[in-house]
Amino acid sequence: MSGNPIGPDVSAGAAAEVSASADPADLLGAWLPENDDPVRPLMTLSTVSASGYPDARTVLLSEFDDSGFYFHTDSRSRKVADVTANPRVALTLIWPGRQLVVQGDATRAPQEERSWAYEHRSRYLQVLAWLNTPEFAALPLERRLAEWAEFSHAHPHPAPPVTWDGFVVRPVRLTFWEGNPETASRRTEFQRTPSGWSTAILAG
């Protein structure tokens, strides 16, 4: 990951206000970077654990398309256990003056997409996918530095590990929040229906 992970400054006044008649697909195209942009947005993935407590963590938005929003992680992670048990999740992306909240259902991404996402990860994140384990984390710093350097040198072009996993979140609700220092903030919310999207303007 390089550059500013929260994206450009889109603080209030930098862009026109969202219209209730807007197409949510067009809005997503305007708010999110192109999929080939190496600077990927950070987003909070919220799940519900088997205990019934909510959990949240930060992941990268790998890409988005008509199917939904993609993220990738280790198949042994707690987030994967949560999503597998309860695929209903929320994603939150924040920029200065803007916020996007996605509510949807997560399903496993196709193998080809997971391979594409790994190939487009930064060198650091490719190595991290191999070494980000509890055993590695428990090592002293000097050992971690040495083993990281050794692995990186031995694998200049690593393939995805078998634990590399990915999901796509198909949205059922999209909420675009906009702030404005000169008036009240507001939300434009799109709810998926059998015939498309319904729209509501809500207080911020």
In whole angstroms, what is the distance from residue 137 CA to residue 119 CA? 24
The whole-number pLDDT of residue 22 equals: 81
SS3 24: helix
Give tens-digit pLDDT for 137-172.
999 999 999 999 999 999 999 999 999 999 999 999
User: Side chain identity at 107, as an amino acid letter?
Assistant: T
Q: Which CATH superfamily is domain 24-121+163-203 in?
A: Electron Transport, Fmn-binding Protein; Chain A (2.30.110.10)
The whole-number pLDDT of residue 18 equals: 84
pLDDT band at 15 (very low <50, low <70, confident <90, very high): low
The whole-number pLDDT of residue 21 equals: 76
In whole angstroms, what is the distance from residue 108 CA to residue 190 CA? 24
In whole angstroms, what is the distance from residue 187 CA to residue 202 CA? 5
Q: Where are the domains of the chain?
A: 24-121+163-203
Largest CA distance in the chain: 58
